Structures are given as C-alpha cells and as structure tokens.
Amino acid sequence: ASSTNTTGTGVGVLGDTKTLNMTQSGSSYYLQDNTRAQGGIFTYDAANRQRLAGTLWTSPDNLLNSTYDGAAVDAHYFAGLTFDYYKNVFNRNSYDNKGGALKSSVHYGRNYNNAFWNGTQMVYGDGDGTTFIPLSGGIDVVAHELTHAVTETSSNLTYQNESGALNEAISDIFGTLIEFYNNKNPDYEIGEDIYTPKIAGDALRSMSNPTKYGDPDNYANRYTGTSDNGGVHTNSGIINKAAYLIAQGGTAYGVTVTGIGNDKLAQIFYRANTVYLTASSTFSQARAACVKAASDLFGTSSAEVTTVNKAFDGVGIK
C-alpha cells in the first residue's frame, strides 16, 4: 500500500499537546515527517534495549497520548522545530545542508540517564525518574544533539580538550537559541525541563553563570585533566559565558560588555562554525573566528566586533 502524509496529535513528556507530521499506510500510522528534509524525519522506538535504531514508531491511530508515547512525541516534534530553525534562520537544509534524513531513537536502554548523537542519529534515554525524565522532553537537549550533527558537517571540531569544549558550547548555544526560537520559558540554562523532576529551578549547566554548577567561567580556571575527553562539558562553560555576554551583556572579571542580542549571537557563531573554525581550533582561535565573523557581518569597527572582543576578554581568552 502506498503511504500518505498526514498529521497526528501527541502529548509530550511534560503533558503538553502538539501536532505531529506523520505518514499513514494501511491501518498504521508512523512517526515519519516527509514535509521538511528531503530525506525525511524519523523517530524510532528502541524499546528499552541498546540496539539502534529500533523500530520506526508505529501506531494504530494518529493520537499519541500515552505516557510511553511522550518521549517519541517530543523527539519528533523538537527535531522538526530544530530543522525549521536552521532552514528559516540560516537557510540550512537539514543538519548536512543537503536535506539529510534526521533520525531519533527514544526509550534507549533501561533508566538511561543521558542522550547522544552517535554520528548517525540522535538517541534519548528515559532517565531513572529521579535524575532525569525522558531527555527528549527538553527542547534545548534535542537541539543540542542535532547541533552536534551540524558541527560535524561544518567545523567538525574534534571532541576533546579545547576543540571539544568549543563543540560542546556550540551545541549549548544553539540548544538555547532554538529554545528561544520556540519561545516557551526560554532561558540560558541547559536541560532544566528534564533534570531532577523533584527539584525545581536547577539545570545541568548554566550559560549565564557556569560556576552555579561547578563549571568555569574564565580561562584561568579551566579544567586540564583527562576525564570527559578533557572536560568538554566543563570547559564549555567558558565559551558559554562569552556567548551569554555577547547576547545579554554584563560585567565579568572587571570587563563590561554591551549585549547585542540573540540574533546577532546566532549569526556570529553560525558563521564561525561554518566558515572559520576547523577540527583543531583552540579557544584563542575561536575568539579570532568570532571576531572575523562579526567583522564580515557588521564591519571591522562595529559595536558588534567590540562586544565580541570584550566578551572574550571577560572570560580571559586572548
């Protein structure tokens, strides 16, 4: 039987209702969105195993409102929204700018307290219900994972030490920018919607104040050990803080920065990631890349270039 594009309704991890692009074939409905990337957007059920991708999400109807459905609803919806952001803001056609298929698997493993991009697809655990609830419920998490794919097909920053922390920060930055694009309780924290359901007001990381969760906000305080690929999720705080200062302004270590807003932050970091950064870029080279990008976009003696220089001064990166 031929399959036709249709829409469905789903209830997400946090109980919110959203419209889904699906396909229907015979008496089954699938989480396959043919309306965006030429390659399609697909969501799979890993059925609490660690074998990927699992089974394409199949339903006897187009109403996904069970608790088990929630993780798939959000993975599918937020992947589509992230596609829309990159297409509408940067005219980027999927993660690879070639309309490549976007695949996500949910219910990965048992009580799996994490999520990841494995070079081919996005993968989301359910969490154990204490540390995490299903991680695809966080738009900043989904956009973070998809941005790893964008970075891999752009600068391809090596996932260790300073280039790895840059890779991480770019995912946190665009995870946050896409959370603002969705405009539902946007903030500069990471993972707040799916982290510690019993504790309000906390998050995995903070871009506005990385030290709140023990991450550095200055190069002088960077982690130089070997865990977590040389602290990629820790030293990202230094770049995250610079990005926050660029967008919102503030004073850091005696340096006062005038904010230029999220849209210009987005333009600067996207151009840096797609034009100037390379796999081995260091923090210092990232400053130069952002200054060059800002100069290209706004002029060498623009207020935007001054803001970029001041922000990197504020986090101690020369």
Ligand X SMILES: O=C(O)[C@H](CCc1ccccc1)CC1(C(=O)N[C@@H](Cc2c[nH]c3ccccc23)C(=O)O)CCCC1
| Separation in Å, CA 200 to CA 192, 193, 203, 212, 237 | 9, 9, 9, 15, 22
Residues 198-227 as x/- pattern, contact with Ca ion by CB under 5 A:
-x--x-------------------------
- Residue 58 CB coordination number (10 Å): 13
Task: Judge whether 101 and 41 are in contact, CB under 8 Å.
Answer: yes
Decide if residue 145 touches ligand X (CB under 6 A): yes
**Residue 116 binds which entry of Ca ion, ligand X, Zn ion, none, CB below 5-8 Å type-dependent:** ligand X
**Residue 196 binds which entry of Zn ion, ligand X, Ca ion, none, CB below 5-8 Å type-dependent:** Ca ion
Residues 264-293 as x/- pattern, contact with Zn ion by CB under 5 A:
------------------------------
Q: What angle is formed at CA 271 by the lines to CA 147 and CA 192, rounded to 5 degrees? A: 35
Q: In the complex with Ca ion, which residue's Cβ is closer, 71 or 190?
A: 190
Rounded CA-CA distance 84/80 in Å is 6
User: Would you give the DSSP letter of residue 132?
Assistant: B
Q: Coil, helix or strand for 264?
A: helix
Minimum distance from residue 140 beta carbon to ligand X (Å): 8
- Which two tokens mark 226? 């070997």
User: Using the rule CB under 6 A, which residue among 115, 165, 246, 311 binds ligand X?
Assistant: 115
Task: Judge whether 162 and 280 are in contact, CB under 8 Å.
Answer: no
Minimum distance from residue 127 beta carbon to ligand X (Å): 9
- Footprint on residues 50-69 left by ligand X (CB under 6 A): none
Task: Judge whether 163 and 280 are in contact, CB under 8 Å.
Answer: yes
Rounded CA-CA distance 276/288 in Å is 9
- Footprint on residues 219-258 left by ligand X (CB under 6 A): 228, 233
- Footprint on residues 133-152 left by Ca ion (CB under 5 A): 140
Q: Total residues at the site for Zn ion (CB under 5 A)?
A: 2
Residues 153-182 as x/- pattern, contact with Ca ion by CB under 5 A:
--------------------------x---
- The torsion defined by the Cα of 185, 186, 189 and 194, in degrees rounded to 10, comes to 50
**Residue 189 binds which entry of ligand X, Ca ion, Zn ion, none, CB below 5-8 Å type-dependent:** Ca ion
Active site residues per annotation: 145, 233
Question: CA quadruple 82, 88, 89, 95: dihedral positive or negative?
Answer: positive
**Residue 115 binds which entry of Zn ion, Ca ion, ligand X, none, CB below 5-8 Å type-dependent:** ligand X
- Footprint on residues 152-171 left by Zn ion (CB under 5 A): 168, 171
- Footprint on residues 164-203 left by Zn ion (CB under 5 A): 168, 171
First to last CA, the chain: 61
Question: CA quadruple 217, 220, 221, 226: dihedral positive or negative?
Answer: positive
Decide if residue 70 touches ligand X (CB under 6 A): no
Of 149, 299, 165, 295, the closest CA to residue 238 belongs to 165
Single out the segment in contact with ligand X by CB under 6 A; choices: 53-61, 110-118, 213-221, 242-250: 110-118
Residues that bind ligand X (CB under 6 A): 113-116, 141, 144-145, 148, 168, 191, 204, 228, 233
Residues that bind Ca ion (CB under 5 A): 140, 179, 185, 187, 189, 195-196, 199, 202
